[in-house]
Structure 1
């Protein structure tokens, strides 16, 4: 019989890439992770990892087992959700992740509504970039999260996660006068921090317009970004959620690309009462609960 805890370690190795990263995610030592994976190989009766020096990679058999591990873990989530549905009332922690503009706009009214409807829930929120969400959902640090991606930066599917669509946003060029993207070729730019989705999206949008942005400032808070634009410090790309209020002297010109915001959770957890209650408070529609939602599906990163 294969051990579920060891299957989870193998699944996380497939996502995280190194034993050290798996150990950090689970608060184990690398030695302990290696021992558990070696025990899983004995249980499976086959080599799951190919070792070259200090590096490991999944064998074809290991990749097959990871696929089945995802199904097993999703089934456990569904069982957990079914058990939770038999209880009266919602209580305990609900750990929520959200990106900064969602923290400021979408989340506060949802938290108020959820707190009134389910006062037994202990709502715990963490602000983070969407790229940091998938590992925190997989390891149970978060229960649900608000994430986003862009037409120009689509997210690769992650079989461990599912999403429900929430909203699509227009993306704008913010400048001191109306101008399209090609007209910003020679302007200084204000970009988000490297490694964030917003940074990657802006660079790709500029590249699609035939140039590489000349970066003057890095700022992740869009209020700051718009203030800098108003001060003549450069141009920037901002999503609709972040575009209000607009400082005097700043003109927003819409682009064709869009940003999509979604509610993310572990595969199999859509029917968990706490996840359903949070989705209701946001107006999201998890697939399989109230009909198939437009754009619903699986999500992963970042």
Structure 2
């Protein structure tokens, strides 16, 4: 019989690439992870790993087992969710990940509604880039997360993660009527490796040029302050542009950012996760009342 806990470690190895990275994610020692994976190989009866010095890669059998592990672990998540539902209302810690603008605008009203309806819940929020969410959910560091997807950028969630759409928002360009008009400007983007940065670069490439990036800034309030100071142009989502500072004009573009709730497959019906997603949906009515000063 294959041990699901060991299957989880094998899937984490496929996702993270090294035993040390798996150990850090699941708070084991590297030696303990290695021992568990060796035990899984014995249970499977075939080699799952190829070891070359300090490098470990999955064999074809290992990759096949990872593919099957998604369905196995999903069913176990469903079982855990069903058992939790028999215990009554949701209680205890609920670990929520969110990107900064959602944490600032969406989560305060959502958490007010969530804890009001379920006082036994203890929400704990951590800011995280959507690109890191699959790994955090897979390792059990988060129970549910708010992520975003952009035009021009493929989704970053993997096969172990399920999502539920929440809302879509327009993107805006600062101080220029269109992206092609910003061809010769300096640009303000987020850090390389973030979805926001990839979106800005690819939107410019779709307009026929490579942007000249001067500043890398993740906080959209700071981005807008830099734009107001004449330090460059930027793309900002509606949530970040409800009150632009003096000196910043906003032009709505035919680009969008979509916000979704993400959770491990099979875990979406867990009472605490479902309560959080319900609170997110209810908080959307607050967001719909927001207005933006923008040229059309």
TM-score by length of 1: 0.90
For the residues of structure 2 that align with 1:225 and 1:61, how far apart are their CA atoms? 48
For residue 296 of structure 1, what is the aligned residue in structure 2?
A: none
Q: For residues 150-169 of structure 1, what are the structure 2 equivalents within 5 Å? A: 150-169=150-169
For residue 291 of structure 2, what is the aligned residue in structure 1?
A: none
For residue 143 of structure 2, what is the aligned residue in structure 1?
A: 143
Residue 221 (structure 2) pairs with residue 223 (structure 1): yes
Q: Which moved more, 1:48-57 or 1:198-207?
A: 48-57
For the residues of structure 2 that align with 1:270 and 1:35, how far apart are their CA atoms? 32
For residue 269 of structure 1, what is the aligned residue in structure 2?
A: 267
Which residue, out of 198, 201, 208, partners 1:200? 198
Q: What SS does structure 1 have at the residue aligned with 2:87?
A: coil
Superposed CA RMSD in Å reads 1.3
- Give the Å deviation of 1:249: 2.4
Q: Residues 242-290 of structure 1: CA distance to partner in whole angstroms, max 9, x if unpaired?
A: 1110122211122222211100011101111111111111118xxxxxx
Q: For residues 1-302 of structure 1, what are the structure 2 equivalents within 5 Å? A: 1-175=1-175, 178-283=176-281
For the residues of structure 1 that align with 2:60 and 2:186, how far apart are their CA atoms? 49
Q: Give ranges in structure 2 of 5+ residues lacking alignment.
A: 283-296
Asked if 1 retains the 8 angstrom alpha-carbon contact of 2:133 and 2:145, the reply is: yes
- Give the Å deviation of 1:195: 1.5
Asked if 1 retains the 8 angstrom alpha-carbon contact of 2:186 and 2:211, the reply is: yes
For the residues of structure 2 that align with 1:166 and 1:151, how far apart are their CA atoms? 16
- Give the Å deviation of 1:157: 4.9
For the residues of structure 1 that align with 2:243 and 2:3, how far apart are their CA atoms? 53
TM-score by length of 2: 0.92
Q: Give ranges in structure 1 of 5+ residues lacking alignment.
A: 285-302
Q: What SS does structure 1 have at the residue aligned with 2:63?
A: helix
For the residues of structure 2 that align with 1:282 and 1:27, how far apart are their CA atoms? 30
Q: What SS does structure 2 have at the residue aligned with 1:68?
A: helix
Question: Structure 1 pair 226/184, CA: closer, same or farther in 2 (3 Å)?
Answer: same
Q: What SS does structure 2 have at the residue aligned with 1:203?
A: helix
Asked if 1 retains the 8 angstrom alpha-carbon contact of 2:131 and 2:156, the reply is: no
For the residues of structure 2 that align with 1:84 and 1:207, how far apart are their CA atoms? 48
Number of residue equivalences: 282
- Give the Å deviation of 1:148: 0.5
Asked if 2 retains the 8 angstrom alpha-carbon contact of 1:95 and 1:144, the reply is: yes
Asked if 1 retains the 8 angstrom alpha-carbon contact of 2:90 and 2:121, the reply is: yes
